[in-house]
Chains A and B, each alone.
Chain A
Amino acid sequence: GAVVSQHPSWVICKSGTSVKIECRSLDFQATTMFWYRQFPKQSLMLMATSNEGSKATYEQGVEKDKFLINHASLTLSTLTVTSAHPEDSSFYICSANRVSDNSPLHFGNGTRLTVT
């Protein structure tokens, strides 16, 4: 079956540094990928929609200069948290939209980011 791989699964970084999270569709092409953030004991909230070959679309309240998204190929989207602060500590999870099936279904296993 289709698989979305997300890496790393967890990361601890110091305040002020940048962290890159990768989301890969392993056996299908994904023109669209979605990035979500989940704070403890809360639901998943969409941060941005990543479109292959074009700029990402950010949800209201999400700083595009802080959360850089690159979707350079049909199988890879990256989310870079720049100048991370403790309040950016969260669980980040991506989902990928298979080209042939417009219903997004496949989620990565998530990345737990802790900023100290």
Chain B
Amino acid sequence: AQKVTQAQTEISVVEKEDVTLDCVYETRDTTYYLFWYKQPPSGELVFLIRRNSFDEQNEISGRYSWNFQKSTSSFNFTITASQVVDSAVYFCALSAYGQNFVFGPGTRLSVLP
């Protein structure tokens, strides 16, 4: 069975603070993909990153960075110098090759001015 856990239900930070969103996953598959999506109040899912299980290289994209560690089954997401526009619900998701997504429960991030 596949499972994604996001232990932080809600996080509040003040603008310009760094914030890390945790994601821990479970799967028996050896080939899988991990994702992060942002869901603003309007509802659409905004794709942030996809990482396959064979690529543990960390990635940085502007103020966003991701730390993938297979040893701990974690795929954490850090926002540096947070901004009010970063306020949203963030979902971590897991997908085995060719299968549907399993979403984590989401973390609601509020960035206060």
Binding site for B on A (CB under 8 A): 32, 34, 36, 41-46, 49, 91, 93, 95, 97, 102-105, 107, 109-110, 112
For the complex, count residues of B whose C-beta is within 8 A of A.
22
Would you call B105 and A43 a contact (CB within 8 A)?
A: yes
Q: How far is the CA of A85 from the CA of B37 in the complex (A)?
A: 30
Q: How far is the CA of A107 from the CA of B37 in the complex (A)?
A: 11
Would you call A43 and B100 a contact (CB within 8 A)?
A: no
- Would you give 24 A-B contacts (Cβ < 8 Å), ordered by A? A34-B101, A36-B103, A42-B106, A43-B105, A43-B106, A44-B91, A44-B103, A46-B100, A46-B102, A49-B100, A95-B101, A97-B98, A102-B97, A102-B98, A103-B95, A103-B98, A104-B95, A104-B99, A105-B35, A105-B47, A107-B44, A107-B47, A110-B44, A112-B43
Q: How far is the CA of A52 from the CA of B35 in the complex (A)?
A: 25
Nearest CB in chain A: distance from B18 CB, A: 25
Q: Out of A103, A105, A112, which one reaches B97, CB within 8 Å?
A: A103
At the interface, is chain B mostly helix, strand, loop or mixed?
strand
Q: How far is the CA of A70 from the CA of B47 in the complex (A)?
A: 26
Q: How far is the CA of A21 from the CA of B106 in the complex (A)?
A: 25
Would you call A43 and B104 a contact (CB within 8 A)?
A: yes
Q: Out of B45, B52, B104, B108, which one reaches A107, CB within 8 Å?
A: B45
Nearest CB in chain B: distance from A43 CB, A: 5
List chain A residues, Cβ under 8 A from B37.
107
Q: Tell me if B70 counts as interface (CB < 8 A to partner A).
A: no
Q: Which 5 A-B pairs have the closest CB atoms?
A: A102-B98, A109-B44, A107-B45, A44-B103, A34-B100
List chain B residues, Cβ under 8 A from A43.
91, 103-106
Would you call A46 and B101 a contact (CB within 8 A)?
A: yes
